[in-house]
Amino acid sequence: MSWSDRFRRKFGNRYALTAVLFLLIMLWGAGTVFFGILNEATACAGYELPDLPRKTDLSVPGRERAGALPSAPADLTLPAQVPAWPERVGRQTAAAQAAVTQALEDDHSLIEVYGAFQALCGRTAIEDAAEPEYGVVRLKDGSLSFVGQGEPDPQVQAGELKRLQTALAQRDIPLLYCQAPSKLEPGAEGLPYGVEDTSNACADRLLAALDEKGVATLDLRQTLKDAGGDWGDWFYRTDHHWNQDAAFVSFQALAERLGQYTQTVSVGGNTRRQAIHIDPIYTDANSYDRQTLSRFFLGSQGKRVGSTYAGVDDFVLWTPTFPTLLRYTGASGGDRWGDLEETVLYPQRVAQRDLYGGNPYTYYAGGDYPFAQVTNYYNRQGPKVLLIRDSYACAMTPYLALACSQLSTIDPRSFSDDLLTYVDWTRPDVVVVLYSSGMVREEEPYRLLSQAPEPAKGDALRRVEK
């Protein structure tokens, strides 16, 4: 039997490993306190000596006359008494606690050591006592995943989307619901034994309910399965998001689906409706340069267990080879004008490698904002789309923005205004809802309309104009 097998047999039990780590931390803390208390500068003195002036000029006599004592400094005060040992214990304990906290927040060495122990012991599920919903599991392909639980009522979710569809239909605007995938492949989820996740089951029930109610859907899980290859290749190994390959393939499917709708265009001073057409240059992968940053990204799951357990992901930067000119409003940094790299892309987010402090995923679209809008000055005949989204949409936003004349995005997790007011303001050709597995396990993200009576279109427009 090898040494690693013997180690796993002896310490593979999570309670034994926890006890060992707890004992090591306690010994370290006790040693810090003990040696701090016995610091020879104060522990044996009893009193702190005053800081007496030292003689530096040998030409000056040290005594005023023979046999006289040195003159006492004018500001000599009584020596300060050293705190009693209970107070010193308290101070040193606080210092030790601060040191542990600093190590966890800045150095992350304890996370790395902890992750190395978990990997050596072959652990496939790492609980988080403080935040159980963020416990991490290792899938059979070696990538990491959160485990999502939740049993929402699909009829409630579908009913809310049907309400939105009805309100939009009064404005001659169609609704399309897109189901983004999770890291768990439908039908072959690859979870460790005894671990369950409800994401795909919730998505299946919701899509069936939407079909019954006549709400149009696009299942991007099926899009990726049809594209072939290993399911894990569509995702970062250490993060819960899909990667740029998956986002681009899904964008291609969405662009094709948008071709089934119509848009309003201006011709000779008049407006008319025509089929949406998206120039193939935007959906052709060869229209983009790709630069790979090797071992650059430690994702949300990897940050919780350390790179020693999870490894580190490569990160790929996609940039168009064709000229672009856009305006990005509502995002960080105020209004951003220029080409794609000056607006929707954020090169400063990947300027340096910072595994724990950085988030390269926000290179695309900058992150999550309540409301943002991209105006494309080089594609004025493109469609106008309102995208209701979660964080998965960050990776898709640059491609969709290039394919549209105007792309408006709303994140319902932080958006608190009236949705229909923004619909009447932006006047999109199509409204798209793009949700991932984190949203489909809940009911609240689907309550997009207030329970109050819907405002009339004219009233909403007058309110915006004021």
What are the tens digits of pLDDT across the range 200-237? 999 999 999 999 999 999 999 999 999 999 999 999 99
Sign of CA dihedral 351, 353, 357, 360: positive
Work out the pLDDT band at 366, boundaries 50, 70, 90. Answer: very high
pLDDT of residue 59: 43
Task: Please state, in angstroms and rounded to a whole number, the distance separating the CA atoms of residues 447 and 398.
Answer: 27
The H or E element spanning position 267 is: strand 262-267
- Name the nearest CA neighbour of 264 among 136, 119, 406, 381: 381
pLDDT digits (tens, 9 = 90+) for 100-139: 555 555 558 888 888 888 888 888 888 876 677 788 999 9
pLDDT of residue 94: 66
Q: DSSP for 403-438, please give it.
A: H-SEEEEE-TTT--S-HHHHHHHH--SEEEEEE-HH
Asked whether residue 396 carries a pLDDT value surpassing 70, the answer given is yes
* HSE-up of residue 148 (Cα within 13 Å, Cβ side): 23
pLDDT of residue 460: 47
pLDDT of residue 466: 41
Asked whether residue 335 carries a pLDDT value surpassing 90, the answer given is yes
Average pLDDT over residues 178-203: 91
Q: Is the separation of the CB atoms in 124 and 305 below 8 Å?
A: no
Domain ranges of the chain: 1-43+83-107, 154-465
Q: Which residue has the higher pLDDT, 442 or 39?
A: 442
pLDDT of residue 21: 62
Sign of CA dihedral 108, 112, 114, 118: positive
Q: Which residue has the higher pLDDT, 197 or 387?
A: 387
Residue type, position 89, single letter: V
Work out the pLDDT band at 46, boundaries 50, 70, 90. Answer: very low
Asked whether residue 405 carries a pLDDT value surpassing 80, the answer given is yes
Task: Please state, in angstroms and rounded to a whole number, the distance separating the CA atoms of residues 422 and 450.
Answer: 13
Work out the pLDDT band at 321, boundaries 50, 70, 90. Answer: very high
pLDDT of residue 148: 79
Q: Residues of the chain with pLDDT > 90: what percent?
A: 60
Residue type, position 437, single letter: S
pLDDT of residue 298: 97
pLDDT of residue 437: 86
Q: What is the DSSP letter of 47?
A: B
The angle that helices 14-37 and 85-102 make with each other, rounded to 10 degrees, is 130
The lowest-confidence range among 29-38, 356-365, 376-385, 423-432 is 29-38
Task: Please state, in angstroms and rounded to a whole number, the distance separating the CA atoms of residues 422 and 410.
Answer: 9
Task: Please state, in angstroms and rounded to a whole number, the distance separating the CA atoms of residues 371 and 387.
Answer: 10
Give me Rg for the CA atoms of the chain: 31
Asked whether residue 58 carries a pLDDT value surpassing 50, the answer given is no
pLDDT of residue 28: 63
DSSP 3-state of 387 = strand
CA distances to 21, 35, 98, 349 from 94, rounded to whole Å, are: 21, 14, 6, 36
Residues 6+ apart with CB under 8 A from 366: 331, 332, 333, 344, 346, 349, 394
Asked whether residue 88 carries a pLDDT value surpassing 70, the answer given is no
Q: Is the separation of the CB atoms in 417 and 127 below 8 Å?
A: no
Does this model's pTM top 0.85? My answer is no
Task: Please state, in angstroms and rounded to a whole number, the distance separating the CA atoms of residues 44 and 46.
Answer: 6
Asked whether residue 191 carries a pLDDT value surpassing 50, the answer given is yes
pLDDT digits (tens, 9 = 90+) for 232-289: 999 999 999 999 999 999 999 999 999 999 998 877 778 888 999 999 999 999 999 9
The tokens for 386 are 């309102």
Average pLDDT over residues 401-411: 98
Alpha helices in 38-153 (DSSP H): 85-102, 109-120
Residue type, position 243, single letter: N
Q: Which residue has the higher pLDDT, 318 or 84?
A: 318
pLDDT of residue 218: 98
Asked whether residue 178 carries a pLDDT value surpassing 80, the answer given is yes
Q: Is the separation of the CB atoms in 426 and 386 below 8 Å?
A: yes
pLDDT of residue 102: 57
Q: Is the separation of the CB atoms in 302 and 239 below 8 Å?
A: yes
